[in-house]
Amino acid sequence: MPSQICNVNSKVTTLINQELDRQRRGIELIASENFTSQNVINAMGSCLTNKYAEGYPGKRYYGGCEVVDEIEQLAIDSLKKLFGAEYANVQPHSGAQANAAVFLACLSAGDTVLGFDLSHGGHLSHGSPVNYSGKIYNPVFYGVEEETGMIDMDKVEALANLHRPKLIICGASAYARDWDYQRFRKIADDLNALLLADIAHPAGLIATSLLNDPIPHCHIVTSTTHKTLRGPRGGIIMMGKDFPNPWGRRTRKGKEIMMSSILNSGVFPGMQGGPLEHVIAAKAVAFGEALDPSFISYGKNVIANAKAMAEAFVSKGYNIISGGTDNHLMLIDLRNKNKTGKEIEKALIEADITVNKNMVPFDDKSPFVTSGIRVGTAAITTRGFEPQDCVKVVDWIDQIVMNPEDDNMLKSLKSEVNEFMTQFPLY
Ligand code: DSN
C-alpha cells in the first residue's frame, strides 16, 4: 500500500480507537444517541458498501442486485412486522431525508405545513427557516404552553383552521410527553390535510407498545433508526395502510396511483440516488433485534430510568419542562440555577458526561448558548444502567452545575465516572 494511504489509514484507526475509548469510559446522555449491537456494526462494515442498487427490490437500474434485493426485502418485511405497517421504505439515508422525501412527494413549493416549533422542541426538518423545509414551503408552528410545557391541542386545532395547512406534522426532538395522534388526525381530516408523524426519537418505545401508536392514525410515519430503535444511523418511511393519492393523480393508462408508489418515487429518484445497502442490512439486523421480546424489557427500562432521573432532578430543584417525562428524554431549564446550556455542556464533558445544550421553550438565549440541556436514557440503558445508577448520575450533574469551574472537582468526578463505567461493558 502506498505510504500516504497507510499513514491516513493508521491515523483513522487510531482515531476510531480513541472514539471507542471515549464511548466506553463516559456516560452518554445525548437523547438521540444509542449503542448498536456488534451485529449491526458488522453488517454496516461489510462488502455491501460496494454495491450500487438504484431502484427497489426486483426493479433495479443495475445488474448483480439479487443478494441486496433479498437483504432490502428482509429489512422491509421486518420493519412492517415491527410496527404493524402495510408499507415501508428503508432507503432514506437519515430522518431528515425521509422527511424531505415526504415533503417532495406530498407538497408543492409554497404549500403550508403546520409543525412543532424548533425552539419549543421540534425538528429542523419540520419547517425551520434555516432548513430547505422552511425555505421552499410555507411553515407555521404550534408550540407548548409557557405554564405547563405541554402542547394544547385546542390551540393546534385553532392554528390549523386559521392556516389550512396541506400537511400537519406531529413529532419532536425534545418533547418529553406522549402525542395524541387521534386528535391530530381529526384536525387533519377536517381540513383534508395529510398527517405525518415523525417518531425519530420514541420509535423504539412505540415499537414495543410503551407509547401511543401513530400507525393507525397518521397517514405517513417517518423515523430515524438509530435513537431508541438502536439501529444504524438512517431513516425510514412507513404507512399503516396504503391509500390512493388524494390529488387524483393517475398513470398514463388512467390507473389510480397509490401513495406507496408516490412515496417510493419521493425517495428515489426524487431525493436520493443509490441506497446504502450496507446500512439497510444493518437496519434489518436492528429490526430483528427489536422484534425480540428482550427489546420490550429494554424499552421499559429506558422509561423507568428517565422517570427516575427526572424525579431526582426535580427533587434537587431543577426545572424540567412539563415537570417530568413519558419517554426517554427530558429538557432541563437551567435559568433558575443561573447557568447556560453552553457552559454546563462544556463542564460535563470535562467529567466525561455527554449531553447537548438545548433551547428551552420561550428561551431568551441563542441556539449557540441556550438556557437548557437535553438528557436522555436510551444509551445508558443499553449499557445496563438501572434507576439507582441514574440517581447517582443526577448527583454528579448537580455537583457540576453548582461548580462548573472547579477544575479539581471535575477531574476527580471524571475518575469516578470512568471507574463507574467499567461495570457496564461496551463491545
Ligand atoms: N438533531 C437530532 C437530535 O439530536 O435530536 C435529531 O435529528
Burial track 105-134 (b if 16+ CB lie within 10 A, e otherwise): bbbeeeebbbbbbbbbbbbbbbbbeebbbb
Distance (angstroms) between ligand 1 centre and the Cα of 367 equals 14
Would you place residue 6 in the very low, low, confident or very high pLDDT band (cuts 50, 70, 90)?
confident
Residue 1 pLDDT more than 90? no
**Using one digit for the tens of pLDDT, what is the confidence trace for 210-226?**
999 999 999 999 999 99
Cβ < 6 Å from ligand 1: which residues? Answer: 32, 95, 123, 173
Distance CA 365, CA 369 (A): 6
Q: Quick one: what percent of the chain has pLDDT higher than 70? A: 100
**Which residues make beta-bridge pairs with 144?**
151
Distance CA 69, CA 281 (A): 10
Distance (angstroms) between ligand 1 centre and the Cα of 93 equals 14
Which of the 8 DSSP states describes residue 73?
H
Q: Cell digits for 57?
A: 427490490
Task: Determine which residue's CA is closest to atom 2 belonging to ligand 1.
Answer: 32
**Using one digit for the tens of pLDDT, what is the confidence trace for 279-306?**
999 999 999 999 999 999 999 999 999 9
Query: Mean pLDDT over residues 397-410, rounded?
Result: 98
Domain boundaries 301-420, corresponding CATH code: 3.90.1150.10
- Residues of the chain within CATH 3.90.1150.10 domain(s) are 301-420
Q: For the residues of 47-114, what is the DSSP string, one character each? A: GGGG----EETTEESSS--HHHHHHHHHHHHHHHHHHT-SEEE---SSHHHHHHHHHHHH--TT-EEE
Q: What is the pTM of this model?
A: 0.97
Domain boundaries 41-290, corresponding CATH code: 3.40.640.10
Query: Mean pLDDT over residues 173-184, rounded?
Result: 98
Residues annotated as catalytic (active site), given as ranges: 52, 54, 198, 224, 227, 233
- Residues of the chain within CATH 3.40.640.10 domain(s) are 41-290
**Using one digit for the tens of pLDDT, what is the confidence trace for 305-342?**
999 999 999 999 999 999 999 999 999 999 999 999 99
Residue 4 pLDDT more than 80? no
**Using one digit for the tens of pLDDT, what is the confidence trace for 183-192?**
999 999 999 9
Which residue type sits at 55? Answer: G
Q: Cell digits for 404?
A: 462548573
Query: Mean pLDDT over residues 31-54, rounded?
Result: 98
**pLDDT value of position 3:** 73
Q: Cell digits for 371?
A: 438556557
**Alpha-helical regions (H) of 62-94:** 66-83
Residue with grid cell 430515524, as numbered in its chain:
224
Q: Cell digits for 66?
A: 439479487
Residue 256 pLDDT more than 70? yes
Beta-carbon count within 10 A of 21 CB: 10
∠ CA 167-168-174, nearest 5°, is: 135
Residue 5 pLDDT more than 80? no
Could you tell which of 32, 228, 329 is best to mutate to test the pocket of ligand 1, judged by most ligand atoms within 8 Å of the CB?
32
| Mean pLDDT over the full length of the chain | 97
Distance (angstroms) between ligand 1 centre and the Cα of 234 equals 12
Q: Quick one: what percent of the chain has pLDDT higher than 90? A: 99
Which residue type sits at 269? Answer: P
